[in-house]
Structure 1
Amino acid sequence: MFNKTPHCTDITILTLDRWMVLYIFNISMSFYFFLKLAEKDGVGVKHTRDAGWCGSDCFPLKKGELKTGPGNSDSSALGNAPDAQRVSNGTPASWDPQVLNCSEDASVRTQDWFRRLDQRFHQFVLHRHCRYFPMLINHPEKCADGEVHLLMVVKSVIEQHDRREAVRSTWGREHTVDGRKIKTLFLLGSPTTGKDTKNLQKLIEYEDRLYGDILQWDFMDTFFNLTLKEVNFLKWFDIYCSGVRFIFKGDDDVFVNTHNLLELIGFKLEERKEPQLFVGDTISKAIPIRNRQSKYYIPKELYDKPYPPYVGGGGFLMSSQLARRLFVVSEDLELYPIDDVFLGMCLQKLHLVPEMHPGFRTFGITRRRVSPMNSEPCFYKHLIVVHKLSAQELLRMWSVVHNEDLVCAQRTSM
């Protein structure tokens, strides 16, 4: 189907592999040097977790709540205005949650449905009113000049620094295209209990010193807490970055064709569809998974109806106007343990349905991992988002796709 010039040879791939190994080795040695330096002089600790902090057996996130005070974003201050007209004018000018007690909702324990609920979900339900958390690393200056066209927001965890390096070297590189400024941020929580928490925190602080592109909150980076990344980012965005035009939100293991993404934004601006823009790989008519072995298992006691339409969290695009509305409605919704579905619930409350776009392949080009189509560069050249690649695969595919010698046939539907 496609014709390729022979630049993508085994020799080229071997060279890239060697480069990647050397690159990761150098980064690792830099981190090691920093750790030794930090142990010597105590440098680099912006926030250290108390040794007596509640671990995963208690609740998989740091306890905290929103500080009350003048100008605080309180749902009562929004009155009874329709969701579509509500705005977050009460949002404070800085991040305000403090390290305060956010104890469990003991009243839930008395309810029959809770007694029947799978124990894996007990702590989530007892503490899902704990919504906003202290920031360990913040960059309020990221959008300070008010001229950011596209903000790339990437969900990651501390240990995946190789993925972040690959993203920074490829689609997450901060630059300007035809006057359109692109900025990048990585969203992180804290290391889970049982890991080398202190040293991992030093590593991430050193990484942020190098790049200045990390937002970190003081809740544990667990699967159920991915929704906390959504709501804490929406609040952060509303405070510090609401002037940006568009937001791409994705995982750190996707390939993003930045050129095609900017083209899509241009088309939407021409069509004047910016205010309600939310586009990705839409999943409709889905129902909760009842298989207890599945990562996405949801018991009937927690949710027992079909999901609203939502997009695969591997990558999606939204306008800042819609992001502000999502922030407002999200504050009145109970947190849900699957972050993609939670955003679908927010959209449903706004009476909106996410737009399906064939360029977003959050399940890969084909669902069969071994399919040769998943490694065909000409598909990547014509798509916008492809999930799921390792750091090494991302670097290799980016190099191949952006090689001027790559020749592809005309676009072909898949």
Structure 2
Amino acid sequence: MDSLFRRKRVGLLKPLLSLSLVFASFLMIHKLKVAEKDGVGVKHMRDTGWCGSECFSFKKAVVKNSVVSSDTPATGNGLDAQRVSNGTPAVWDAQVINCSEDASVKNQDWFRRLDPRFHQFVLHRHCRYFPMILNHPEKCTDGEVHLLMVVKSVIEQHDRREAVRKTWGKEHTVDGKKIKTLFLLGSPTTGKDTKNLQKLIEYEDKIYGDILQWDFMDTFFNLTLKEVNFLKWFNIYCSGVQFIFKGDDDVFVNTHNLLELIGFKVEEHKEADLFIGDTISKAIPIRNRQSKYYIPKELYDKPYPPYVGGGGFLMSSQMARRLFVVSEDLELYPIDDVFLGMCLQKLHLAPVMHPGFRTFGITRRRVSPMNSEPCFYKSLIVVHKLSAQELLRMWSVVYNKDLICAKKTSI
């Protein structure tokens, strides 16, 4: 009798889970419809299959305003894209990919010793540029864009994107300087309700017109793919943009202070090599297997070059184009901010440290009341690790004209 009850309970579990998913989807669609009256941009999308990381086989993607398609497999060795020195393609050209694993690596001793968690990454590390699912080439063509806000996100984090759009990612013009925003996404990971999630993100993009999406799975190890695919995208479509802020969807950005910093660098004529943030120097790979940032010795066994915390950093358009060129000759690395540090090292440059970028929070002790003190946010540029609700609340407080903060004075 007990076993029969368990079977019935298991039988009920699946429809209950399905109902929960339908209800969650309904709620998100309702939220998006409420916001639709303020949205802009319409996107034409493709409906194509994707087999995931097991085979890395991709079908042709149909992307609005993308007129070039190729039947030549695109691989990560750079053969699918013309180099900057030879002229950059006019449109996104990575349309068809059949990227099989590099079987020759399996015969090497270091690979046999490698932690199995890194096998798929290493076997497909040569897969670099991917078809675009959602594209907005018009984003940078609407006159001169002074600052492009580029935000790493995942499909499920709709509430974070909404909070960013209502706060520091709001597109507007300040003293004649245009600020535009883009979110970078991959595809839903295997095991999730892929079709429904994709339909939701298409609908969100139809409203706002601010999402770039590529056909690779949105996993931690694939964050570096967002870096290199964005750098190539920027090099194709954004010749008129002057500066880029790149960050996560859980940060607070004081746009007023960010624009002031840019103004100072322009006055000092230091914008050409501008790459500034919360610099981490003399770091070494983490060997703790329980850490999210664990790297085995077989993959990398030397100190890291100086790099900035990926929560938020600022760079000039000139620097972004130089990073694109050197990135094509570097092997991909599973930690995206370290990879950019490797690109800078190849340029014989180092990121500039700025105390206004706090990618580890105001204090590293999460229980510290300082992390919720609005006057600190008013004086800083970037603060990491806020929920969507915390971001909205802190934004309204910091930009309240009645907020009075003590000012430092010197005698």
Give TM-score, length-normalised by structure 1: 0.84
1: CA distance, partners of 2:32 / 2:365: 37
SS of the residue aligned with 2:262?
helix
Change (3 A) 1:77 1:232: closer
Superposition deviation, residue 62 in structure 1: 5.8
What is aligned with 2:30?
Answer: 29
Percent identity between the two aligned chains: 82
| Matched residue type, 2:221 | F
The question of whether the paired residues in 2 share the 8 Å contact of 1:87 and 1:325 is answered with no
What is aligned with 2:364?
Answer: 367
Superposition deviation, residue 91 in structure 1: 1.2
| Matched residue type, 2:30 | M
2: CA distance, partners of 1:97 / 1:174: 29
Q: 2:308 aligns with which of 301, 306, 311?
A: 311
1: CA distance, partners of 2:272 / 2:391: 32
SS of the residue aligned with 2:228?
helix
Change (3 A) 1:156 1:62: farther
| Matched residue type, 1:48 | D
What is aligned with 1:214?
Answer: 211
2: CA distance, partners of 1:281 / 1:405: 30
Change (3 A) 1:412 1:163: farther
Match status 1:48 vs 2:34: no
Superposition deviation, residue 47 in structure 1: 2.4
What is aligned with 2:176?
Answer: 179
Superposition deviation, residue 44 in structure 1: 8.0
Q: 1:119 aligns with which of 89, 93, 116?
A: 116
2: CA distance, partners of 1:25 / 1:397: 29
Q: 2:198 aligns with which of 198, 201, 208?
A: 201
Change (3 A) 1:45 1:194: farther
Superposition deviation, residue 146 in structure 1: 3.9
2: CA distance, partners of 1:390 / 1:349: 36
Match status 1:244 vs 2:224: no
1: CA distance, partners of 2:71 / 2:317: 26
1: CA distance, partners of 2:177 / 2:290: 45
User: What do you get for the CA RMSD once the two structures are aligned?
Assistant: 2.8
Task: Write out per-residue CA displacement over residues 62-113 of structure 1, whole angstroms, 9 at most, x where no aligned residue.
Answer: 65899588xx99868999xxxxxx9445210000112231111111111110
The question of whether the paired residues in 2 share the 8 Å contact of 1:190 and 1:216 is answered with yes
How do 1:1-400 and structure 2 match up within 5 A?
Answer: 28-31=29-32, 46-50=45-49, 53-56=50-53, 58=54, 63=58, 67=70, 87-400=84-397
2: CA distance, partners of 1:45 / 1:147: 26
Change (3 A) 1:105 1:172: same
Task: Write out per-residue CA displacement over residues 326-361 of structure 1, whole angstroms, 9 at most, x where no aligned residue.
Answer: 000000000000000000000000000000000000
| Matched residue type, 2:233 | W
SS of the residue aligned with 2:140?
coil
Structure number with the bigger relative contact order (C-alpha 8 A, sep ≥ 6) is 1
The question of whether the paired residues in 2 share the 8 Å contact of 1:45 and 1:202 is answered with no
1: CA distance, partners of 2:356 / 2:203: 36
Unpaired segments ≥5 residues, structure 1: 1-23, 35-42, 80-85
The question of whether the paired residues in 1 share the 8 Å contact of 2:48 and 2:59 is answered with no
SS of the residue aligned with 1:300?
coil
SS of the residue aligned with 2:204?
helix
Change (3 A) 1:409 1:325: same
2: CA distance, partners of 1:332 / 1:67: 23
The question of whether the paired residues in 2 share the 8 Å contact of 1:149 and 1:180 is answered with yes
The question of whether the paired residues in 1 share the 8 Å contact of 2:76 and 2:129 is answered with no
The question of whether the paired residues in 1 share the 8 Å contact of 2:76 and 2:128 is answered with no
Task: Write out per-residue CA displacement over residues 246-295 of structure 1, whole angstroms, 9 at most, x where no aligned residue.
Answer: 00000000000000000000000000001000000000000000000000
| Matched residue type, 2:92 | W
2: CA distance, partners of 1:33 / 1:274: 41
Unpaired segments ≥5 residues, structure 2: 1-24, 36-41, 61-68
| Matched residue type, 1:47 | R
